[in-house]
Copies of this chain bind each other. A is one copy, B any other.
Amino acid sequence: MGSERAVAVVGGGVIGLSVAWAVAEAGYPVRLVDPAPARGASWLAGGMLAPVTESWPGEEHVLELGSSSLARWPDFAARLTAAGGDPGLRLEGTLAVALDSADVGTLDVLAEFLRGLGREAVRCSGRELRALEPGIGPGVRSGLHVPGDLAVDNRALLTALHTACRRSGVEFITATARAVHPNAVVLADESTVDCAAVVVTAGAWSGHLHPALAPLVRPVKGEILRLHTRPGTLPVPTRTIRAHVESRPVYLVPRLDGELVLGATQLEVGFDESVTAGAVRDLLRDAERVLPGIAEYALVETAAGLRSGSPDNLPLIGLLEPGLLVATGHHRNGLLLAPVTAGAVVSLLREEELPAAVRAADPARFLGRDA
């Protein structure tokens, strides 16, 4: 394969795989560098595609970008089903619920913000919530029904993307990258992958690859649990349920096979991937307040992943320098933002103009030059 048009994608999480697939489908030869593709933080994620319940006053840009990506998701999922496998898109919507009066106040702020933007979000009493999801506990006081916030099976998604990439001719290089330059990726063994352009999609590790990214991307640890129904237990809910429990956020994302993903802590503790006893205790206790029946579920997995935080919760999608692109800093929104990010990278390679929502994510905003 010649390197004159080749694109090297560094990092094989949901962003890297989505970018690699889209770039390959656009006709470029693609080499994806990752020591363990289709794993990492994307593998551990809950799977929420939830820009509305994730939003907050002051982060309108994040909501805009997320909404524009969510709009692409049904088509993305359909194309992926044909190309690599069904990613398990769930259309049942999301409930955001509140426990104590401070939690209700948090929901009030979110509801008011969404009303001002004309977003669909229906306020529900505890009784109305339990009519929608009978497993919701008696301590849940009120909520917000957001039918447009969806979910995906992140592991089915990664597997499907991995397959789609291979079928599209993406070359997988099972190695760790050490540094990136506009026309080459330097691997840990000092060999190089030559190419016409590089796309950094290495999530929390992106800052290790290029000095300009080091101050912009930081790891945000998230501990996440996977539970599963057992014989005789209540079924998983139909919808994603997000809650504030005495000001601690928790989410519960159901899968059709009876799995329930329960997350997630948000800790700024560097590159630490240990699961602490205290985090597991907090997540289980808080989730039980929301869905008491999960006490009888099996706890089948405890894990911690590292999200890639950016200074303003918007990702970094754009050019670092000619021939060196970046698509990282997606924080809690990597799965949601995969379609819009992949499309943006193809547009950047083609030197096409980007949509306004994506231009807001240009890393130039931190690099002291105009976008």
Interface residues of A (CB under 8 A from B): 225, 227, 230, 272, 274-278, 280-281, 284-285, 287-288, 294-300, 302
Known: A302-B299, A302-B302. Is A277-B284 also a contact (CB below 8 A)? yes
Q: Are B276 and A299 in contact (CB under 8 A)?
A: yes
Q: Are B230 and A277 in contact (CB under 8 A)?
A: no
Q: Are B295 and A281 in contact (CB under 8 A)?
A: yes
Q: Are B284 and A298 in contact (CB under 8 A)?
A: no
Task: Given contact pairs A277-B295, A285-B285, enumerate 7 new A-B contacts (beta carbons under 8 Å).
Answer: A230-B276, A275-B300, A277-B284, A278-B284, A278-B288, A280-B284, A281-B285
Q: Are A280 and B280 in contact (CB under 8 A)?
A: yes
CB-CB under 8 A from A278, the residues of chain B are: 284, 288, 295-296
CB-CB under 8 A from A275, the residues of chain B are: 298-300
CB-CB under 8 A from A296, the residues of chain B are: 276-278
Q: Are B274 and A298 in contact (CB under 8 A)?
A: yes
- 21 residue pairs from A and B, CB less than 8 Å apart: A225-B277, A230-B274, A230-B276, A274-B298, A275-B298, A276-B295, A276-B296, A276-B299, A277-B284, A277-B287, A277-B288, A277-B295, A277-B297, A278-B295, A278-B296, A280-B299, A281-B284, A281-B285, A281-B288, A281-B295, A284-B284
- For A272, A280, A294, A299, the residue with the greatest tally of chain B CB atoms inside 10 Å of its CB is A299
A266 CB to nearest chain B CB (Å): 17
Q: In the bound complex, how far is the Cα of B120 from the Cα of A353, in angstroms?
A: 82
**8 Å CB contact of A227 from B277, B284, B295:** B277
Q: In the bound complex, how far is the Cα of B280 from the Cα of A295, in angstroms?
A: 9
A177 CB to nearest chain B CB (Å): 27
Q: Are B284 and A299 in contact (CB under 8 A)?
A: no
When all copies of this chain in the complex are counted, the total is 2
A300 CB to nearest chain B CB (Å): 8
CB-CB under 8 A from A297, the residues of chain B are: 276-277
A254 CB to nearest chain B CB (Å): 15
CB-CB under 8 A from A299, the residues of chain B are: 275-277, 280, 302
Closest A-B pairs by Cβ, 8 of them: A278-B295, A274-B298, A281-B284, A277-B299, A275-B299, A277-B297, A277-B284, A280-B299
CB-CB under 8 A from A272, the residues of chain B are: 230
Q: Are A294 and B274 in contact (CB under 8 A)?
A: no
CB-CB under 8 A from A225, the residues of chain B are: 277
A217 CB to nearest chain B CB (Å): 23
A155 CB to nearest chain B CB (Å): 20
A320 CB to nearest chain B CB (Å): 33
A236 CB to nearest chain B CB (Å): 13
Closest to A274 in B: B298
CB-CB under 8 A from A285, the residues of chain B are: 281, 285
CB-CB under 8 A from A227, the residues of chain B are: 277
CB-CB under 8 A from A295, the residues of chain B are: 276-278, 281
Q: Are B281 and A298 in contact (CB under 8 A)?
A: no
CB-CB under 8 A from A277, the residues of chain B are: 225, 227, 284, 287-288, 294-299
CB-CB under 8 A from A276, the residues of chain B are: 230, 295-299
Q: In the bound complex, how far is the Cα of B276 from the Cα of A288, in angstroms?
A: 12
Q: In the bound complex, how far is the Cα of B274 from the Cα of A225, in angstroms?
A: 15
CB-CB under 8 A from A294, the residues of chain B are: 277
Q: In the bound complex, how far is the Cα of B299 from the Cα of A280, in angstroms?
A: 8
Q: In the bound complex, how far is the Cα of B232 from the Cα of A272, in angstroms?
A: 13
